[in-house]
Structure 1
Amino acid sequence: MDELAGVKWHVSTRSSGGGGNCVEAGPLGDGSGRVAVRHSRAPEGAVIVYTRAEWDAFLAGAKDGEFDF
């Protein structure tokens, strides 16, 4: 996907170290505000692209503990 070529990936601060489950996210460089997410151990694998509204809703849910198991 050409639109992913310029993504500056950032590893989640909540990812476990030492080969654990790591999530990377980065904004697409097209000015749309969309955010791409991938698994850092499989960078050539699947990528999910969220709209800015979807990403903001996810972050709000994470901060509120919505995804705590």
Structure 2
Amino acid sequence: MASIDRLTSTGLPVAWHVSTRSGNGGGNCVEAGPVLDGSGRFAVRDSKDRSGPVLVYAATDWRTFLTGLRTDRLA
């Protein structure tokens, strides 16, 4: 389930999704989601520090990253 956070550190509205690989152990947790401004950008943050820094990627860069993950090029 996505959560929309209108008050990120960037001031951008984002539909956040918790990574399915984060687990429930309180370890390394990541949230990512599309920026809801029509730009196609994606944002990433540490779910343990939701008011902390947010990384924002251009749509093409995010697709390249996901392709690398799916094809095991980022090992």
* TM-score of the pair, normalised by structure 1: 0.86
SS of residue matched to 2:15: coil
Give the drift of 1:67.
2.2
Q: Are positions 1:29 and 2:36 aligned together?
A: yes
Aligned CA-pair RMSD: 1.1
Stretches of structure 2 lacking an aligned partner (at least 5 in a row): 1-9
- Would you say how many aligned residue pairs link Structure 1 and Structure 2? 66
- Deviating runs (4+, > 6 A) in structure 1? none
TM-score (ref. length: structure 2):
0.80
**Alignment identity in percent?**
53
Once the two structures are superposed, what CA deviation does each residue of 1:37-60 show, in whole Å capped at 9, x if it has no partner? 001011111110000000000000
* Correspondence for 2:74: 67
Higher mean displacement: 52-61 or 18-27: 18-27
Q: Name the CA distance, whole Å, in 1 between partners of 2:73 and 2:27.
A: 22
Give unmatched runs, 5+ long, in structure 1: none
Q: CA deviation at 1:17?
A: 2.0
Where is the helix percentage greater, Structure 1 or Structure 2?
Answer: 1
Q: Quick check: 59-68 or 32-41, which moved more?
A: 59-68
